[in-house]
């Protein structure tokens, strides 16, 4: 096993710059997730690590080997594709044995490796079947099995759960996590789904427009997002962002004319400076309290145990969403008071960068 180091990765397709100098370090045994909206370059980056895409600039090191110029098969990686990419005319066994057979491994060694991987994934009963006779989840397992058999230094996953239905996705997510615990192989995992990123990752890399926005543990990114993009990308419902200006007395003047108290991080800010105030829906407290603002309930999304309540005030007030335990008592049209505790506020400057948080 080995770590992965990407230095200044650049990639252009014609005039389109997809990666604009990305540097990432993944420690040995770490589960790193690259997340970002579609078109951010995450798949291109993964494919570059796999050797399927040639970088325009920069280098890739696996362990202590520079693999930038090596063909895919010599890099010590195994990749699981979104479409699974199983060979349709080969059985599950032959699919899993394919790479070892090409590498001219002995029959006994191949058999042992395939059966061991099949046992780990619980697919021993499927070994004689062709991919067409498997369900989506089973194909996914075989694709992973094919990767395990190669005993790679690094696993690469390209949106592996996108083709599964919601229920199966949750179960496979759990299995990925336990598989990683069991094998301990360094993993680079690409997804556009922030829930997958939050639940699976040791470390998340948020990518946008070919540049890294922030790197950190899921907790770090959630609690101290480096900018508005990261703040709103992670977490559902997404973080409320209210535009405001710094006022006297450690307060902010919201665009609708109301005032809220700011945390001490805002102290160095000059009065009149434009800022954005962020607060997560679950951090908004409902009920009368000093400084609470009056709101009207515009819409309630009931999720069963929880409800997302969309609040609006008078004409011109900025709407905010808050998340509450749903006891059925809140109805549209209700008037209630909401308070934003200073400790839960995230402050961003005019450029959208977090104030008092260092980005990655």
Give which of 294, 289, 295, 326 is closest to 308, Cα–Cα: 326
Q: Give the Å distances, CA to CA, from 32 to 51, 140, 190, 226.
A: 18, 20, 9, 18
Non-local (6+) Cβ contacts of 61 within 8 A are: 4, 5, 6, 7, 67
Stretch that binds another protein, among 28-36, 66-74, 196-204, 233-241 (CB under 8 A): 66-74
Give which of 299, 311, 308, 314 is closest to 255, Cα–Cα: 314
Quote the least distance from Cβ 137 to another protein, whole Å: 18
Q: Is 118 in the site for another protein (CB under 8 A)?
A: no
Q: Is 162 in the site for another protein (CB under 8 A)?
A: no
Q: Give the Å distances, CA to CA, from 261 to 273, 285, 291, 355.
A: 15, 14, 8, 16
Which of 55, 78, 228, 239: binder of another protein (CB under 8 A)?
78
Q: Is 134 in the site for another protein (CB under 8 A)?
A: no
Stretch that binds another protein, among 85-93, 110-118, 187-195, 250-258 (CB under 8 A): 85-93
Q: Is 190 in the site for another protein (CB under 8 A)?
A: no
* Rounded distance between C-alpha atoms, residue 45 and residue 322, angstroms: 36
Q: Is 85 in the site for another protein (CB under 8 A)?
A: yes
Q: Is 109 in the site for another protein (CB under 8 A)?
A: no
247: phi then psi, degrees, rounded to nearest 5:
-115, 175
Q: Is 83 in the site for another protein (CB under 8 A)?
A: yes
Quote the least distance from Cβ 71 to another protein, whole Å: 7
- Three-class SS state of 241: strand
Q: Is 328 in the site for another protein (CB under 8 A)?
A: no
Which of 1, 12, 21, 52: binder of another protein (CB under 8 A)?
52
Query: Would you say 121 or 254 has its CB closer to another protein?
Result: 121
Cis amide linkage into residue 237, ω under 30° from 0:
yes
Which of 49, 50, 114, 246: binder of another protein (CB under 8 A)?
50
Non-local (6+) Cβ contacts of 40 within 8 A are: 207, 208, 209, 210
Residues engaged in binding another protein (CB under 8 A): 50-52, 71-73, 77-79, 81-83, 85-90, 98-99, 102-103, 146, 150
């Amino acid at each position: 096993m080995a770590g992965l180091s990407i230095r200044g990765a650049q990639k252009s397709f014609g005039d389109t710059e997809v990666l604009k100098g990305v540097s990432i370090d993944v420690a040995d045994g770490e589960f790193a997730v690259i997340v970002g909206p579609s078109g951010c370059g995450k798949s291109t980056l993964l494919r570059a690590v796999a050797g399927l895409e040639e970088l325009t600039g920069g280098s890739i090191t696996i362990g202590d080997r520079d693999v930038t110029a090596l063909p895919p098969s010599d890099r010590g990686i195994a990749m699981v594709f979104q479409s699974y990419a199983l060979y349709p005319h080969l059985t599950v066994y032959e699919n899993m044995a394919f790479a070892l057979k090409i590498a001219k491994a002995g029959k006994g060694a191949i058999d042992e490796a395939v059966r061991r991987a099949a046992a780990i994934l619980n697919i021993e009963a499927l070994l004689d079947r062709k991919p067409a006779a498997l369900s989506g989840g089973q194909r996914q397992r075989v694709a992973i099995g094919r990767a395990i058999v190669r005993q790679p230094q690094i696993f690469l996953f390209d949106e592996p759960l996108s083709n599964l239905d919601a229920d199966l996705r949750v179960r496979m997510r759990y299995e990925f996590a336990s598989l990683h615990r069991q094998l301990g192989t360094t993993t680079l995992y690409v997804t556009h789904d922030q829930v997958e990123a939050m639940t699976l990752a040791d470390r998340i890399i948020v990518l946008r427009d070919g540049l890294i926005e922030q790197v950190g543990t899921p907790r770090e990114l959630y609690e101290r997002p480096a900018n508005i993009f990261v703040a709103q990308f992670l977490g559902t419902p997404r973080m409320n962002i209210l535009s405001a200006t710094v006022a006297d007395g450690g307060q902010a003047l919201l665009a609708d004319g109301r005032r809220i108290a700011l945390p001490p991080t805002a102290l160095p800010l000059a009065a009149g400076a434009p800022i954005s105030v962020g607060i997560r829906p679950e951090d908004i407290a409902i009920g009368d309290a000093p400084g609470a603002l009056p709101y009207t309930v515009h819409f309630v999304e009931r999720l069963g145990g929880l409800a997302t309540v969309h609040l609006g005030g008078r004409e011109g007030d900025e709407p905010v969403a808050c998340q509450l335990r749903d006891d059925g008592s809140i109805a549209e049209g209700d008037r209630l008071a909401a308070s934003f505790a200073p400790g839960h506020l995230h402050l961003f400057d005019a450029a959208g960068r977090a104030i008092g948080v260092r980005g990655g």
